[in-house]
Structure 1
Amino acid sequence: MRTHALILASALAALAGAMAASAPDTAARTPASVNNIAVMEGMPRQLSDYRFFFRLRDHDSLQAVGYELNTPLYSDGADKLRFAYIPSGKQIIADGEGLLQFPVGSALIKTFAFGEGADRRLIETRVLLHRTDGWLALPYRWNEEQTDARLAVAGARIPITRPDGAEISYRIPNKNQCKQCHVKDGVVTPIGPKARNLDGAWLEQMVERGLLDAVPAASDSVPDWHEREGGDTASLARAYLDVNCAHCHQPGGMASNSGLDLRWEQDDPHAIGIRKPPVAAGRGAGGLAVSIDPGAPERSIMIHRMSSTEPGVAMPELGKNTVDEEGLAVLTRWVLEMPQGEN
């Protein structure tokens, strides 16, 4: 079952509870408002400085709305808690292409965690702040006590044992590395919450709350990754590439010199790599001739690079130290199912 509606319902229930707790004799327990000065100015040292959450570790919030993505970005198997904060009196504007334009003063908050319940360990929280001069990306590292997260401008490496027993060296990106994924045409921009990658019911509820002006016509078009078993392979593969790769591999992206355009809406076979020779892959090509060789994943550069964790070969370059076996399986199946006469 999709959980978007449950997330929003939980937020509304929390709001009702807080309103009940705001009587004079319990006013001290009323959660504080978001610190809009912190959102708009400087580089706050602690995640708690923003006051997005009145119970920080639990990510309980009255003003930041939780959301999920239909197809999420892979990050070494970490779970993610996603929230959007829209300042009072403003709303998100949906343009004709299904993109969401967040007003100045907004914030996108994403926490990376491993484990569940009492065993859940929060690792980092990345905050995107929409200020008058554009978007600013800041990473925060959670302390061992799990009471707060501190600004990690230089990033960090953290040894993690995942719930499946795998031991990894988890990387928190530094402030400049955040830009590498979020830059298009030289401008920092959000890459996750696109209308096509959000549940239609969630978008409708945002409209009802006055936080979104309208449900875009292009919404809810990317398949639900959680229901990939039995799903259309090509749609799943294209959604995976759109979310995990297209922020760099598109015109204006950091890897536009590759000539690949992996956006969901791209329908030119050559642009998405089918029988396309590499332009700037270097040794990452592994001696292979084309990005995608229909019917032959073993001869496809895309599959070769997704299968690797070697620096200079592995793709994506940032945000992972392990192979996404589930994503790789979908992309491999996609290439195997391609008609070999396709060009």
Structure 2
Amino acid sequence: MKSTLLKIALTYIVVFGLYSCGTDDSDDYTPIAEKESPVVLNLEAVPYTNLSEYNFFEGELKNLEPVYKVLPYDINSSLFTDYALKKRFIWMPKNTTATYTTDGHIPTFPVGTALIKNFYYNTVLPDNSTKVMETRIMIKKAEGWIFAEYVWNEEQTDAVLTTERHVINISWNQNGTTMSTGYTTPSTIDCAECHTLNDNHTPIGVKPQNLNKTYPYANGSQNQLDKWIAEGYLNSKPNTINTTIDWTDTTQPLELRVRSYLDINCAHCHSAGTSCDYTPMELSFQASDVAENLGICVQPIDFAIRGQDYIVAGQDVNESLMHYRMSTVVRSEMMPNLGRTVVDEQAILLVEDWINSLETTCP
């Protein structure tokens, strides 16, 4: 019996081998097709009327669950926008990649790149629900970057393209304190005011200095720049990167926290080639290690009230114009003058601690 079974098995192996390993059946082999991203981005048709038309997300749109090749990312310190939270994503067309330039400048992105930033609150009153307020998209076309601003409907089923400001009344729970404001979305002109460098529209946050951190991806945590390289979204990175930090991390040096905060909240207007580069400040992270660039003992040339003699007066908060402009909500006097309607109280405390810690006192 065993002999008979062995003969049958050997026969099966020989016959199977003839059919599976023959020399003239190679033309019948069909490779497995590479998975395609379902994103729909026609550069001749964008920006679309509705956010859903891009197909960046799967399932219920409000859940912001990205489809294949829409990659989530985060930055070390975030722009303050009335305490709204952010979810950021990037998508690039198949077989394209970005090229690393410098730590403090965005990579050279390929045409067709989309940067998607969603603003939302998790504790909207009265029931602590989640509400997505707006989605901002920047798309790289052959002629440069364009803006696409989408305001979400009350049903949270979609967001509609707009070029004008919108005011959305909202109340939320901010760490146990009830807060309310008329949340203001930007117009196209507002977008251009912050996102213009050397007369060209440009993204702000996606600089290697801000991306050089670990992110908890669905398949495990990884350095974001390494992830981009693995996904084919970035060509390379240097061994060392001059990196910003999370300014809310109190274990970090105070000056480094301040410089990181000013870089993401102020440098898009107060650095070379921007709308306010005539002011005597250079607040980009790569340049703010110089006291004068931070405005320390530097007299303002364009704006001064209440007798503030310096942009930053060491050990004197009341004489520091920077502190005042961050502390007010008067539109003509506050800084930033776009993107917020309330004061970032935690940032004010940071700047106060920093000013009081400065060894330099001004004349």
* TM-score range normalised by the length of the shorter chain: 0.7 to 0.9
- Relative distance call for 1:308 and 1:327 in structure 2 (3 A) is same
CA deviation vs aligned residue, 1:290-312 (integer Å, no higher than 9, x gap): 10001111210000100000111
- Relative distance call for 1:317 and 1:52 in structure 2 (3 A) is same
1:61-210 correspondence runs (5 A): 61=66, 62-99=68-105, 100-115=107-122, 119-164=129-174, 165-200=178-213, 201-210=223-232
Name which of 309, 315, 318 aligns with 2:335: 315
- Relative distance call for 1:217 and 1:176 in structure 2 (3 A) is farther
- SS of 1:93's partner is coil
Confirm or deny that 1:238 pairs with 2:259: yes
Determine which structure has the larger helix proportion and give its number.
Answer: 1
1:30-49 correspondence runs (5 A): 33-37=38-42, 39-49=43-53
Partner Cα separation in structure 1 for residue 284 and residue 133 of structure 2: 29
Deviation at 1:286, TM superposition (A): 3.4
- Relative distance call for 1:98 and 1:312 in structure 2 (3 A) is closer
Query: Could you tell me the TM-score, scaled by structure 1's length?
Result: 0.85
Partner Cα separation in structure 2 for residue 70 and residue 32 of structure 1: 28
Q: Which residue of 2 aligns with 1:255?
A: 276
Q: Which residue of 2 aligns with 1:278?
A: 300
CA deviation vs aligned residue, 1:192-242 (integer Å, no higher than 9, x gap): 11101113411112112221111245546111235x123211000000000
Determine which structure has the larger strand proportion and give its number.
Answer: 2
Deviation at 1:287, TM superposition (A): 2.5
- Relative distance call for 1:294 and 1:314 in structure 2 (3 A) is same
Query: Could you tell me the TM-score, scaled by structure 2's length?
Result: 0.81
Amino acid at match of 1:250: S
Amino acid at match of 2:108: Q
Partner Cα separation in structure 2 for residue 315 and residue 337 of structure 1: 22
Amino acid at match of 1:76: D
Partner Cα separation in structure 2 for residue 67 and residue 116 of structure 1: 22
Partner Cα separation in structure 2 for residue 70 and residue 59 of structure 1: 21
- Relative distance call for 1:311 and 1:218 in structure 2 (3 A) is farther
- 8 Å contact from structure 1 (residues 52, 63) kept in 2: no
Partner Cα separation in structure 1 for residue 206 and residue 349 of structure 2: 25
- 8 Å contact from structure 1 (residues 250, 256) kept in 2: yes
Confirm or deny that 1:287 pairs with 2:298: no
- Relative distance call for 1:137 and 1:276 in structure 2 (3 A) is same
- 8 Å contact from structure 2 (residues 89, 117) kept in 1: yes
| Comparing 179-188 and 263-272, the one that deviates more | 263-272
Deviation at 1:40, TM superposition (A): 4.9
- 8 Å contact from structure 1 (residues 95, 216) kept in 2: no
| Comparing 267-276 and 323-332, the one that deviates more | 267-276
Matched residue count: 310
Larger CA Rg, structure 1 vs 2: 2
Amino acid at match of 2:73: Y
| Comparing 109-118 and 135-144, the one that deviates more | 109-118
- 8 Å contact from structure 1 (residues 40, 131) kept in 2: no
Deviation at 1:85, TM superposition (A): 0.8
- SS of 1:332's partner is helix
Amino acid at match of 2:81: S
Partner Cα separation in structure 2 for residue 198 and residue 239 of structure 1: 13
Partner Cα separation in structure 2 for residue 252 and residue 116 of structure 1: 39
- SS of 2:250's partner is coil
Segments of structure 2 that go 5 or more residues without pairing to the other structure are: 1-34, 214-222
- SS of 1:258's partner is coil
Deviation at 1:176, TM superposition (A): 1.3
CA deviation vs aligned residue, 1:111-130 (integer Å, no higher than 9, x gap): 10011698110000001010
Partner Cα separation in structure 2 for residue 218 and residue 243 of structure 1: 21
Deviation at 1:51, TM superposition (A): 1.1
Partner Cα separation in structure 1 for residue 44 and residue 199 of structure 2: 21
Partner Cα separation in structure 2 for residue 218 and residue 331 of structure 1: 28
- SS of 1:162's partner is strand
The Cα RMSD (Å) is 2.0
- 8 Å contact from structure 1 (residues 106, 130) kept in 2: yes
Q: Which residue of 1 aligns with 2:321?
A: 301
- 8 Å contact from structure 1 (residues 75, 320) kept in 2: yes
